Amino acid sequence: MDTTSARLGTGQASWLDWLDDSQLGLAMRSELWLYPIVEVVHILGFVVLVGSVFMFDLRVLGLSKDIPVTALARHLLRWSVAALVLIVPAGLMMFTAHPHDFATNNIFILKLCLIATAGLNAALFHVGVYRSVGRWNTRIAAPAIAKVQAVLSIGLWVSVVLCGRLLAYT
């Protein structure tokens, strides 16, 4: 059993081996332009996602109070969902280039946990305080819990970007 198999268990190591040996993994490592192009797609995707999330969070925190929260949510939600279509496949493609390294990298695992936490925070916002948005839609301060969730959201997404950037150095 090699070191990765010993650390991850044979089952997990075998799908990582399979990814490592796949045509895609090989192409991502050997084609000069493929990895950088996929990385640019990943970056464009998370710029749109994190940008639209920030615009919404800043509105909840009290900026541009003339814009109805519901109108902004309707507009930005579409962009953040569309951005996932770029982010996730590009992230998975980069993962296939060095699956063992990423799967055992604590920063990568932390990044995925932070993404899950940010997603949970957004879901709780929508099923929770957002239900009362009719009362604070325009020119009225959002409830404290909404502001706490907006600050949390900004902090989580900044941490995700930080972890993503740190991957190049770990």
Which residues make up the interface to ligand HEM (CB under 6 A)? Answer: 39, 42-43, 46, 49-50, 87-88, 91-92, 94-95, 102, 115, 160-161, 164-165, 167-168
Q: Whole-number minimum distance, CB 63 to ligand HEM, in Å?
A: 22
By C-beta, is 25 or 91 nearer to ligand HEM? 91
Minimum distance from residue 41 beta carbon to ligand HEM (Å)? 11
Helix residue ranges per DSSP H, the chain: 3-8, 10-21, 23-30, 34-60, 69-97, 99-103, 106-127, 144-166
Q: Compute the least distance from the CB of residue 92 to ligand HEM, in Å.
A: 5
Q: How far apart are CA 39 and CA 167, in angstroms?
A: 12
Question: Closer CB to ligand HEM, residue 42 or residue 100?
Answer: 42
Find, among 43, 28, 3, 46, the residue nearest to 96 by Cα: 28
